Amino acid sequence: MKKNIPQLATLAGVALLIVSLIWWQQTFGVKMDYLKCLALSDGICQVSSIGKVFGGAGYNPIIFWIAIVCLVAGIVLKKLRVF
């Protein structure tokens, strides 16, 4: 089981990254002006919170950052052969 931890972390990171990209796209569309909103939640990116008024969930970059941490942890653990 321990040998699978880097693979599981990497897989979780990829899955969460896909979820965050889909959530971001559903919130902002495909406008490159909002690309920074994928990782930040200030300024114009706070417009996404208006979705909460209509019962939806505005985009929150926390899932993006958790995905990045999982990906980096998986890669580092695999390189260091800790597990």
Domain ranges for the chain: 2-80
Confidence (pLDDT) at 28 = 79
Tens digits of pLDDT across the chain (83 residues): 567 999 999 999 999 999 999 988 888 777 777 788 889 888 777 765 555 566 666 788 999 999 999 999 999 999 998 76
Confidence (pLDDT) at 72 = 97
Confidence (pLDDT) at 33 = 76
Structural contact between residues 9 and 70, judged by C-beta atoms closer than 8 angstroms:
yes
Structural contact between residues 40 and 46, judged by C-beta atoms closer than 8 angstroms:
no
| C-alpha separations of 81 from 9, 39, 67 in Å | 14, 30, 21
Structural contact between residues 67 and 10, judged by C-beta atoms closer than 8 angstroms:
no
What predicted TM-score, i.e. pTM, was given to this entire model? 0.81
